[in-house]
Amino acid sequence: MGLMAIYPKRNLSKLGLAKYIRSYLLKGLKVIRPNQAWAIDITYIPMTKGFLYLTAIIDLYSRYVVGWGLSNSLDANSSHRVLKDAILVNGKPGIINSDQGCQFTCYEWIDHLDNEDIQISMDGKGRALDNIFIERLWRSVKYDYVYLCPANDGMELFKGLKQYFYHYNNELTHQGIGRNIPVSLYKQVA
């Protein structure tokens, strides 16, 4: 019948260089407008044969996915590319929050954000709740799309995720933002 258990897979949290770790800036912060704060993370996406890594950036005010990308490696370049594309399309956030993974605790990441004058926030070690909004996004993506429609290859996965993120941003109401659609809050005039 093709039944299989759904459980956490690979651990993607490989600690980066301590000199690039930054403080968590979101504690007690009231996020009141779009692009005030974004969160970025990477997750493992299984396919029928193999897997890819999905990087996504979410606006914390509206829950709007401002950028995403697939990669077959965990190098910092793929996360950096997703960030640059998101800034190009949506403008700069005031703060970007990530975990302390090696993709976000490297010279290139820190230097780019410093040059863009974007504040850097990082979750505390072992504190998944610090980045709860993107963790909730991963649950939605996996349970509402990935596990129900396993892709045969990267192109099929890309097309399916493109449709899913369009639905997530433009059609799906979210309880955490008063049953609004993310695009309606993100595109509002601040």
pLDDT of residue 13 exceeding 60, the answer is no
- pLDDT number for residue 190: 45
Amino acid identity for residue 147 in this structure:
Y
Q: Taking the model in full, what pTM does it have?
A: 0.88
- How is residue 103 written in tokens? 């993709």
DSSP letter, residue 55: E
DSSP letter, residue 123: P
DSSP letter, residue 149: S
Question: What CA–CA distances, in Å, run from 169 to 82, 89, 133, 186?
Answer: 17, 15, 14, 9
What does the pLDDT look like over 50-59, one tens digit per residue? 999 999 999 9
pLDDT of residue 14 exceeding 80, the answer is no
pLDDT of residue 128 exceeding 80, the answer is no
pLDDT of residue 92 exceeding 60, the answer is yes
Q: Please, what is the Cα angle at 84 between 82 and 87, to 5 degrees? A: 105
